Structure 1
Amino acid sequence: MALIRLFLIAFVVLTVIYVSLSLYSRARARDRLEAEWDTGDIAGPREDYVQQGLATYDSSLRRKLILGVYIVPMTLVCVTIYLVNFA
């Protein structure tokens, strides 16, 4: 029962961290795209350029790497529990 409670609390905390990182990373991508449009000779409306860039960002590797927030800590906890109990 204690293990389930640990994983539940960890999942909630990691979800808060994941959402925060996702929002921060997306805001940084938006700022970068807006700065590129402001300084460059990019044709078309600014909002269209930003939306197209954010669509590209949504399918990027960086976006998927943020999921490591879940994978790395949970894997470390599982390995530690295994090593303490069975090794």
Structure 2
Amino acid sequence: MFALLRLMAVGFVVLTVVYICLSLYSRSVRRGKLEAEWDTTHGTGDREETPERDAFIEEGLQDYDGSLRRKLIWGVYIIPMTLVTALIYFMNFH
């Protein structure tokens, strides 16, 4: 039983690190796409940070926070935990 708890604790820490990295990467990719969209519609110019550009990017990131893609990242926790639980169950009880 102690080995299972230790496995779950280590697994949770590893999955948390993976989740944070994946979440930050996905958000940075979305920010890059929003910046590129702004630059193509308004011209690149000197790529000056304007309040309008910042507001556009922040609005886009707020939309991203409620998106399906953001919710799918939770699969980092759900899929491995489900597989390990199923594996333990089938190895011990079937």
Indicate the TM-score class for this superposition, using the shorter chain for normalisation.
Answer: over 0.9
Deviations 1:29-76 (A, max 9, x none): 0000000000014xx710000000000000000000000000000000
Structure 1: 4+ residue segments shifted above 2 A: none
* Alignment-derived partner of residue 3 in structure 2: 2
List runs of 5+ in structure 2 lacking aligned partners. 43-50
How many residues are treated as equivalent by the alignment? 86
The one-letter amino acid of 1:49's match is F
The one-letter amino acid of 2:74's match is L
List runs of 5+ in structure 1 lacking aligned partners. none
Normalising by structure 2, report the TM-score: 0.88
Residue 64 of structure 1 pairs with residue 71 of structure 2:
yes
Larger Rg: 2
* Alignment-derived partner of residue 25 in structure 2: 24
Normalising by structure 1, report the TM-score: 0.95
Q: SS where residue 10 of structure 1 aligns?
A: helix
